[in-house]
């Protein structure tokens, strides 16, 4: 997985979080599969098509917090993640 301080696009734009579809009990094999980038200031009440219930690992950048909900539309239980 990338280090939280290394979350940037190829052109250097900062990324606050990166979510992945594949995970593994072996750390060096985590953060695989498709990746979804979350940019600073994003407010997304619904997951993009094809991402519902597929995230299995994530990395949150420094000075960022990612809050997720158990139900669509920011409903249900929430949980926050930081670097």
Q: Is residue 58 part of a domain?
A: yes
* Domain total in the chain: 1
Q: Is residue 50 part of a domain?
A: yes
- Span 63-75, pLDDT tens digits: 999 999 999 899 9
DSSP string, 46-73: SPPTT-TTT--EEEE-TT-EEEEEEETT
Position with higher pLDDT, 78 vs 9:
78
- Span 11-60, pLDDT tens digits: 989 999 999 998 777 777 788 889 999 999 999 888 888 888 888 889 99
Q: The tokens of 2 are what?
A: 């990338």
Q: Length of the chain in residues, anyone?
A: 83
Round to whole Å and give the CA distance between 80 and 63. 13
pTM: 0.84
**CA 15 and chain centroid, separation:** 10
Q: Is residue 4 part of a domain?
A: no
């Amino acid at each position: 997985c990338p280090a939280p301080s290394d979350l940037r696009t190829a052109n250097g734009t900062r990324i606050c979080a990166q979510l992945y579809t594949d995970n593994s009990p072996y750390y060096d094999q985590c953060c695989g599969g498709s990746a979804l980038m979350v940019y600073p200031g994003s407010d997304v009440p619904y997951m993009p098509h094809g991402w519902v219930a597929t995230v299995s690992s994530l990395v949150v950048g420094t000075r960022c917090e990612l809050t997720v909900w158990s139900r669509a539309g920011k409903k249900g239980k929430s949980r926050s993640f930081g670097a």
